[in-house]
Chain A
Amino acid sequence: EDKVVQSPLSLVVHEGDTVTLNCSYEVTNFRSLLWYKQEKKAPTFLFMLTSSGIEKKSGRLSSILDKKELFSILNITATQTGDSAVYLCAETNRDDKIIFGKGTRLHILP
C-alpha cells in the first residue's frame, strides 16, 4: 500500500533560522509529489514535483525531489512567524489517488 512519511512531526525554531522538512514515500506508479501549507483549515498549494533534481523555488521556500531515493525536502530560509503552520506532503499515483503524510507542525518563535 502506498505510504507517505514526514519528519519531523513537529519543529520549533527561532525567527531567521532555516528549516528543512522531510518527506519519504513508497508508491507504485508514481506521478507527482505535492507540498501544502495548512494554517487554519484549507491547505494551500506550494509545489508540485515530478522530476528528480529540479528545484522548485518560491520566495524563501524551495523544494526538490529525489525519485531514486524516494524522498523530497522542503526548505524555508530566513523563517518568519507567519511561516508557522502544518506542512503537508502528498504523493499522487497514476490511479489518480492522492496519499497525504501526517504533516510537520512548524512553530516559529519571535
Chain B
Amino acid sequence: DAGVTQSPTHLIKTRGQQVTLRCSPKSGHDTVSWYQQALGQGPQFIFQYYEEEERQRGNFPDRFSGHQFPNYSSELNVNALLLGDSALYLCASSFGTGGYEQYFGPGTRLTVT
C-alpha cells in the first residue's frame, strides 16, 4: 500500500518564477491538505482540497493556489516566488474532511534564490 507521495523531492527556483508541486494521497484517501514548514517552525496550513474543491484556506496570499484531480491527487502552485517562500512543503491526506488522522508525505524542499 503506497503511502503519500510527493514530487519533486528538492527544487531550486529563482525569485519571480513559478513552481508546481505534486502530491498523491494514500490509497483510499480523498482529502489532501498542504502545509508550509519553515526551518524551526511547525507546519503552517495552506489549504485543503476535497471533492476537487478548496474547502479551507490558511493565511496565505493568492500567489498560492492549488488543484485536486478526479483521482484525488493534488498540485500546489506558487507564483511570483519570494525568498521567504523557501521551505519544506508537506502534503497530507485523510479520508473525508473530518478525519484528522492525516498521513504526511516526505515533502518537497523548495529553495528560492
Given contacts A96-B55, A100-B44, contact A42 B100 (CB under 8 A): no
Given contacts A42-B105, A95-B56, contact A102 B45 (CB under 8 A): no
Contacts of B45 in A (CB 8 A): 97-100
> Which of the four size classes fits the interface of chain B?
20 to 34
Are A42 and B48 in contact (CB-based, < 8 A)?
A: no
Proximity bits, B98-111, A CB within 8 Å = 1, else 0:
10111111110000
Contacts of A51 in B (CB 8 A): none
Are A42 and B90 in contact (CB-based, < 8 A)?
A: yes
Contacts of B101 in A (CB 8 A): 45, 48
Instruction: Tell me which of B41, B98, B104 contacts A42 (CB under 8 A).
Output: B104
Interface residues of B (CB under 8 A from A): 4, 33, 35, 40-45, 48, 55-56, 58, 88, 90, 97-98, 100-107
- Please name 12 pairs of A and B residues whose Cβ atoms are closer than 8 Å in the assembled complex, sorted by A: A36-B104, A42-B4, A42-B105, A43-B43, A45-B102, A48-B100, A96-B56, A96-B98, A98-B45, A100-B43, A102-B40, A103-B41
